[in-house]
Amino acid sequence: MNLAVFGKFAAVSFQKEITYRFDYFMAVLNGFLYIFVFTALWRALYAQGAGAGGFSAAGITAYAIMAMAIRISFSMDDTTIAIKVRDGSIATDLIRPVSFFMMNMAQCAGFSAFHTLARGVPILIFSIFLFKVDIPFTARGTALGLLSLVMGYLILFMLNYLFGLIAFWIIEVFPFQLMKYGLLNLLGGSVIPVDLFPASMKPFLALLPFQHIFYTPAAILIGHATPERALVMLTEQAAWVGIMGAASLLFWNAAKSRLVIQGG
Amino acid sequence: MRYHLGMAYTIEAQNLVKTFTVNESGKGLLGAVKALFSTKKRIVHAVENVSFGIRQGEFVGYVGENGAGKSTTIKILTGILVPTGGVARVNGVVPYENRRDNSKNIGVVFGQRTQLWWDLPVRESFEILRVIYRVSKGDFDAMMARLTKGLGLDGLMEMPVRKLSLGQRMRCDIAASLVHRPTVLFLDEPTIGLDVLAKENIRSFLRELNGKDGTTIILTTHDMNDIEQLCKRLIILDKGRVIHDGPTEELKKRFPHDKIIEVDFESELASLPLVPELEPIRREGKKMWLRHAHDSSGLALAIGKLASLYPVKDLSVREPSVEIIIRSIYEKTAALPGYAPVEKAAK
Amino acid sequence: METLKIYATLALLSVRARMEYKASFLLFLVAIFFFYLAQLGLLIVVLARFKEIHGWRTGEIAFLFGLATFSQGFTTLFFNALVNFDQMLIQGEFDRTLVRPLSPLGQVVFSRFEASTVAHFFLGTAALYYGAKYSGIEWSLKKDLFLPFVIVGGVMIQSATRLAVSAVAFWTLRNSSLVHIVVFSSREFILYPVSIYNHGVQFFLTFLFPIAFVNFYPAQYFLDKTGENLFHPALQMATPLVGAILFALSLYVWKRGIGHYQSSGS
Ligand SMILES: Nc1ncnc2c1ncn2[C@@H]1O[C@H](COP(=O)(O)OP(=O)(O)OP(=O)(O)O)[C@@H](O)[C@H]1O
Ligand SMILES: [Mg+2]
């Protein structure tokens, strides 16, 4: 898929998102609600025991805001594949001369681009002023952070993609999505940074990609991860991008071969 | 046949008006961004001053082009929408004021979407409707037996609705609208997307329902065969206004001696200036429908002229069908009453 | 009475329909269970590290979780269909409820009874039991009697908020984002004691969007937590009243919504 086609798909879904302004304002509100909840929670908790997980009270607030802003920016419509399989319109996608994977990614990118520009960034900037957080800015940290952000996005996209492909086997994918949300909330780092998990759980967490979706980019961007640690995390993240990519390819081939178009 | 105040009609529409307000989103990306913060509103006049009266036992075709306002009228008569102006009554009940009373008297089918429960076997949907309409077991069984026979529902009852073919689903939908034996039936495009056989099946059932039970039926459709075969009366709507209301037969009589010539040309032609006695009323690629409005002796001559002066590939002569007549009405090539010469210049 | 019987039959039919796809039903059950377990996992991680949240110990937090989850179970049981209500409107499915001799709301609600909420009940009961036990609640006749009222009140509050936001779709057509906030995000607020928030948020959760009455205020009463009276101690007993008022209000909004829909067509 060339860049122009990718851009076209992305632009279309960007525009689709923009048409519903009521949804937009609600979604902005939703983002702030979460930030209110978690900054309040951390303030209360760090008043009891500062320093937990290597965060200061200010540091954890910065983390909460950054992680939530990333989560908002990473908004994706993870229902499209399932809907297309159910109503049979997946057939039209398959006969298009573009890669299904890339087309989905383009659509997701457009969707997320809208949420990044219209929600993630404004909410981040606004919250930084509202909660007077101080995010140390270094060129190197920011560069690594942005790289990590891209990889985190890819991991989340592929996770959604894989869960979406389940629809080729089981029509009702919502239960799986629900389980995915549960895991993502718990382990992704948008709510609790991995540092606060009991030490005994950390090896288990390393076996899963979730922490590299929100935690890694957020920790790097706010300067919580030391430069050396950041490099290690980035390497792990890159490995996960590879693993998920391979899984996507394998899974897609399996899905294609058992394509039964439903409905019609 | 037009609407007269004070007569006993089963369905009456008095100066019905319905306008919608639509928010317009701007064009392109920039327009869409702007639309986040401001909206342009547009008024759509879906129904403008529609009046008619329909008596018990009539079978009325309600036709018009896409967007003419047919579904909107049906929604008002079934109590789904409140009109912006005017009054509607069905069996003396104002539908949108007494929705429940009205709903007991009427059956509704919207061909575009099902009223059945998508994931349930057909039988369960009927059972739910039986409960909702408080139909007794005995009445229900009797009616179901009739519907099963009349609409050929054997073997469908245990299927989940989502697995039915379009034709099967439509038959079930029509049956579902009749579980409570309504005296008035509204059918909004019940034959949409069906094959000839399925249409025929449904038509013969409706004919019987109207004939034997005396059920009053309003049918909207884009299939003129439905109209010709079923509807004794035709109401034509154009851009929200009634432009014709009368017996279907009468429409044909408006063109008593006319013949329609269907011609396949070798190439696409814009007009036929050399044969002025044949009037083009419809054009579809290389195909053209021509009207000959004089006595039949001139017809042979005109055809001869046509064949010698233009590259005719194939040609047949017909009586004007309702479809052709209605189409010519839509396209304003024939104004009513009577008809005026072609206004529309060839492209 | 007759109407009640009709609704009961509808509810039964919809449960039976749900059971037709046993595998899918079980999968749902497992998924819901899993999801809330994960949510509980968050609390557990936090409590393992910090021991308490703003003076609320583990058992007390479990009690909060239990009240919220249990009443959410009932709410979902009845009002689950409302989560996708805007789609019903957009696709014209709602229209058909208007041509039938039964309340449209009743048809929407009872045609999709959500039996998978047993997961909520199970988790909710477990959390309530555990919470009550480990926080050492001193039960009294008054508390025993008050508990069912609190549950019903909580259900009414949650149902009312769902109903009201669903009704917004009559005006805006698409409202999934709002429903999302009210149904899912709002839960996030009440997983923790409301006293952790600043006064503005406390005011909001008490008087404007009063979900603090679902668990926080009544839990204060049951747990005899007198240390942090927000606004007024009487609020601890107010859940049933708040529920009744909100529910009546939301029914009114819904009615107005239908009226608007019928005149605007969208
Ligand atoms: N809810 C609505 N909001 C805004 N405009 C509407 C709404 N419903 C219908 N319209 C508009 O009103 C007009 C009439 O629509 P209606 O559905 O009644 O047409 P119709 O005759 O049934 O057409 P079709 O043959 O395509 O079914 C159209 O221009 C349509 O766009
Ligand atoms: Mg229509």
Chains in contact with chain C (at least 3 beta-carbon pairs closer than 8 A) = A, B
Give domain status of residue B324, yes or no: no
Taking the model in full, what pTM does it have?
0.80
Q: Are residues B285 and B212 in the same domain?
A: no
- Residues A141-178 have pLDDT tens digits of 889 999 999 999 999 999 999 999 998 888 788 899 99
Give domain status of residue B174, yes or no: yes
Q: Are residues B75 and B163 in the same domain?
A: yes
State the pairing for strand pair B216-220/B184-188: parallel
Q: Are residues B204 and B122 in the same domain?
A: yes
Give domain status of residue B42, yes or no: no
Give domain status of residue A91, yes or no: yes
- Residue located nearest, by CA, to atom 26 of ligand 1: B66
Domain of A180 in residue numbering reads as: 3-256
Q: Are residues B192 and B277 in the same domain?
A: no
Could you tell me which of B118, C90, C46 has the C-alpha nearest to residue A172?
B118
Give domain status of residue A43, yes or no: yes
Give domain status of residue B190, yes or no: yes
Q: Quote the number of domains for chain B.
A: 2
Give domain status of residue A263, yes or no: no
Q: Are residues B116 and B205 in the same domain?
A: yes
Q: Which of B249, B278, B309 delimits the end of a domain? A: B249
Q: E strands, B201-311, where?
A: 216-220, 233-238, 241-247, 259-265, 278-284, 287-292
Ligand 1 and B20: CB distance under 6 A = yes
ipTM (interface predicted TM): 0.85
Cα separation, B160 vs B123, whole angstroms: 9
Structural tokens at position A264 = 């019609």
User: Would you call B157 exposed, middle or buried from its count of C-beta atoms within 10 A (0-12, 13-18, 19+)?
Assistant: middle
| Residue of B20, B227, B236, B242 with the most ligand 1 atoms within 8 Å of its CB, for mutation | B20
Ligand 1 and B70: CB distance under 6 A = yes
Closest ligand 1 atom to residue C266 Cα is 1
Structural tokens at position A206 = 């390393």
- The answer for residues whose C-beta is within 8 angstroms of residue B54's C-beta and 6 or more apart is B9, B10, B11, B12, B60, B216, B218, B233
CATH number of the domain where residue B239 is located:
3.40.50.300
Q: Are residues B163 and B288 in the same domain?
A: no
Cα separation, B309 vs B275, whole angstroms: 9
Q: Are residues B237 and B263 in the same domain?
A: no
Q: Are residues B182 and B291 in the same domain?
A: no
DSSP string, chain C: -HHHHHHHHHHHHHHHHHHHSHHHHHHHHHHHHHHHHHHHHHHHHHHHHHSEETTEEHHHHHHHHHHHHHHHHHHHHHHGGGGGHHHHHHTTHHHHHHTSSS-HHHHHHHTT--GGGHHHHHHHHHHHHHHHHHTT----HHHHHHHHHHHHHHHHHHHHHHHHHHHHHHHHS--HHHHIIIIIIHHHHHTS-GGGS-HHHHHIIIIIS-GGGTTHHHHHHHTT--TT--S-GGGGG-HHHHHHHHHHHHHHHHHHHHHHHHHH--
Q: Quote the number of domains for chain A.
A: 1
Q: Which of B115, B131, B136 best probes binding to C when mutated, by most C CB atoms within 10 angstroms?
A: B131
- For the beta carbon of residue B158, count every other beta carbon within 10 angstroms: 9
Give domain status of residue A261, yes or no: no
Q: Are residues B220 and B264 in the same domain?
A: no
Ligand 1 and C140: CB distance under 6 A = no
DSSP bridge pairs for B265: B312
Q: Do C10 and B103 touch (CB under 8 A)?
A: no
Q: What is the pLDDT along chain B (347 residues), one digit of tens a residue?
A: 455 555 588 999 999 999 998 877 656 666 666 666 666 788 889 999 999 999 999 999 999 888 889 999 999 999 999 999 999 999 999 999 999 899 999 999 998 888 888 878 899 889 989 989 999 999 999 999 999 999 989 889 988 888 888 889 999 999 999 999 999 999 999 988 888 888 898 999 999 999 999 999 999 998 888 888 899 999 999 889 998 888 888 777 766 667 788 888 888 877 787 887 887 877 788 888 887 876 666 788 888 888 888 888 888 887 766 677 777 676 654 444 333 333 333 32
Domain of B305 in residue numbering reads as: 256-319
